[in-house]
Amino acid sequence: MLARLTVASLRVSKSKPEFGVVNWHVNTSDENGRSVLSVVATNLFRRKIR
């Protein structure tokens, strides 16, 4: 199995600016290169404010 994660977009949360919103594209393929899973995921991460 091989998983490839690609960041599709990043933005600051409108309601909680100390957090960022990350949209991911996740593609997983088997040993023959056939796609077995494709997901678009959204996660909230605490931002490192400098």
Specify the residue for token string 């998983």. Answer: 3
The Cα–Cα gap between 13 and 44 comes to 8
Mean pLDDT on 10-22: 95
Q: How far apart are CA 14 and CA 18, in angstroms?
A: 9
The whole-number average pLDDT for the span 11-18 is 94
Instruction: Please tell me the predicted confidence (pLDDT) of residue 40.
Output: 96
Residue 33, helix vs strand vs coil = coil
The dihedral sign for the CA sequence 47, 10, 14, 45: negative
pLDDT the model gives residue 33:
93
pLDDT tens-digit map of 23-43: 999 999 999 999 999 999 999
Closest by alpha carbon to 23, among 32, 35, 13, 15? 13
pTM for the model: 0.74
pLDDT at 16 over 90: yes
Could you state, in order of their start, the residue ranges of all structural domains in the chain? 2-46
